[in-house]
Chain A
């Protein structure tokens, strides 16, 4: 059932995305570069929250999917058509996510966190090993794709992710996931295939992260395992999503914008303190802002909204 409120929200979202798409006409230098980073994290954090928001399973595998995506582009951009590469990346991402999910998501959340914690490093070791065996080193991705193109592709992908998230939220799958997040035992007893629901969602989130990697590869120009699989990316995504809050679809976006600006500022002026920032942000989320900005917004609205009525 689509209500007038849904139509209003859809129109608002479309307008916001349209407005964001106009940015490259305004500036094609520093601001565009920051905006591209923001668009990248928006897609990553939103798709992360699709899975981890309702289930409370913290995935630290983003960097593994992302890195695989960049390698797909790096290896295939000379021989395969450009439009095919993100699709291949999505396929590989979904398969890896399905494998990881099948092994860990049947068990408790702790196993999943631990398994994903080392996943990027594991894939990096294997890729490096294969490269050493085949005598291959890092590779150059030299294309005619500009930052502006990448930005537009990311905005398009963001629109797709928001749409998918919206549809999942209204579907039986989304309902099932919310029950799993509230009480997994109850979910099992009401006949939900909990493992299956979790695996499907994790596959979506893994595929999206791989596509983002594939789209961004031309931006890096030079690709090697240690940068493509840098584990810090996974943590940045978790922080941004949780800082914004995973309770709503737009929540992660509310975390991405301030955190990207802050991160940019810190890495410019005190590059050695970025880890400290990451740590403080984690502690802040646990002790001061549980539920992120979305949680804060809801609490404020409840307090003042209730008083007004």
Chain B
């Protein structure tokens, strides 16, 4: 039992980082980014490539992956998504447009990655030794990935909570129109949030590739999980995202170990269903008025 809990927590920590990336993009920039999972896979591929070609550790690769992903996502927001925000007559219209556009983007990215890397599976062996915690042994790479993900999530949370730039971002998350009234450059903050979200997700991908086998088309599964976590935790709620990610990690591990490894998505759906039925506003959210 403690084995399932710890394995689940280790997995959930990485999920939390990925979902925080999506939450920044959806909560602040108001873009439901369905290409989020592809950013993750791209980050994983970058780490894989750097490791196999140059023997550079995937952790060191983060120094390149994160800024690169930031730049790419910032450009995507400025060039592709901002025109949609401008032309949208309502929040609903923007949602439909951004869903379709990011779907397009996700398929294009899968197409490009298949073309570059082929359709096969990718994994590499890094820190594959065991480490003992509470009498059971776990993969060292999982523990390291969890630790780095936690550090990054903590840094992000501190930045959002205690800096001026973080405050601006939270203001836009609460209400873009009011944020404009107090002199915040909403498009710039949104672009920053979108880029930052992409960087966080891609870093999560690089970490996950240390212990998880990826292929070009697996992104949508991660998108799905990240979406469920964001909804479960509440849009724009970092604490909720972390708790929800840990719950999902544990639930998945439990189902995989006890029932069947092929049913992990079903586990996520059971949680999703519970949230939709009983707490559509998120775990810690208050009822909308």
Q: Within the complex, which residue of B111, B227, B262, B273 is in contact with A276, where a contact is CB–CB below 8 Å?
A: B111
A213 to B83, CA, bound (A): 39
B91-118 interface bits toward A, Cβ cutoff 8 Å, 1 = contact, 0 = none: 0110111011101111111111011000
Residue numbers in A under 8 Å from B221 (CB-CB): 121
Nearest B residue to A113, CB-CB: B99
A280 to B263, CA, bound (A): 32
Contact A282 B100 (CB under 8 A): yes
Q: Which A residues, 270 to 287, have Cβ-Cβ distances below 8 Å to chain B? A: 272-273, 275-287
Interface SS majority for chain A: helix
A contacts, CB < 8 Å to B:
56, 58, 103-104, 107, 109-111, 113-115, 117-118, 121-122, 125-126, 128-129, 132, 184, 231, 235, 242, 272-273, 275-287
Query: Could you list 25 examples of A-B contacts with CB < 8 Å?
Result: A56-B92, A111-B231, A111-B276, A111-B280, A113-B99, A114-B224, A117-B223, A118-B269, A132-B262, A235-B107, A272-B111, A272-B119, A275-B107, A278-B104, A278-B107, A279-B106, A279-B110, A279-B111, A282-B101, A283-B101, A283-B105, A285-B100, A286-B84, A286-B100, A286-B101
Q: Report A228 CB to chain B, min CB distance, Å.
A: 16
* Contacts A279-B106, A281-B104, A282-B103 given; does A118 touch B265 at CB 8 Å: yes
Q: Which B residues, 207 to 228, have Cβ-Cβ distances below 8 Å to chain A? A: 217, 220-221, 223-224, 227-228
Query: B254 contacts the other chain (Cβ, under 8 Å)?
Result: no
Contact A114 B84 (CB under 8 A): no
A128 to B221, CA, bound (A): 17
Residue numbers in A under 8 Å from B93 (CB-CB): 56
* Contacts A273-B111, A276-B107, A279-B111 given; does A110 touch B95 at CB 8 Å: yes
Contact B265 A58 (CB under 8 A): no
Contact A125 B273 (CB under 8 A): no
Residue numbers in A under 8 Å from B265 (CB-CB): 118, 121-122, 125
A285 to B104, CA, bound (A): 9
* Contacts A103-B277, A114-B228 given; does A275 touch B100 at CB 8 Å: no
Query: B29 contacts the other chain (Cβ, under 8 Å)?
Result: no
Contact A109 B96 (CB under 8 A): yes
Residue numbers in B under 8 Å from A231 (CB-CB): 220
Contact A279 B108 (CB under 8 A): yes
Contact B266 A125 (CB under 8 A): yes
Residue numbers in A under 8 Å from B227 (CB-CB): 114, 117
A231 to B107, CA, bound (A): 13
Residue numbers in A under 8 Å from B269 (CB-CB): 118, 122
Indicate the member of B100, B105, B106 with the most A CB atoms within 10 Å.
Answer: B100
A3 to B109, CA, bound (A): 50
Q: Report B104 CB to chain A, min CB distance, Å.
A: 3
Q: Report B23 CB to chain A, min CB distance, Å.
A: 13
Contact A107 B280 (CB under 8 A): yes
Nearest A residue to B277, CB-CB: A103
Residue numbers in B under 8 Å from A283 (CB-CB): 101, 104-105, 108
Q: Report B129 CB to chain A, min CB distance, Å.
A: 32
Residue numbers in A under 8 Å from B228 (CB-CB): 114
* Contacts A272-B115, A272-B119, A283-B108 given; does A115 touch B103 at CB 8 Å: no
Q: Report A177 CB to chain B, min CB distance, Å.
A: 15
Q: Report A183 CB to chain B, min CB distance, Å.
A: 9
Q: Report B106 CB to chain A, min CB distance, Å.
A: 7
Residue numbers in B under 8 Å from A58 (CB-CB): 96, 99-100
A275 to B119, CA, bound (A): 12
Q: Within the complex, which residue of A107, A126, A235 is in contact with B276, where a contact is CB–CB below 8 Å?
A: A107
Contact A279 B96 (CB under 8 A): no
Q: Report B111 CB to chain A, min CB distance, Å.
A: 3
A128 to B263, CA, bound (A): 9
Q: Report B278 CB to chain A, min CB distance, Å.
A: 11
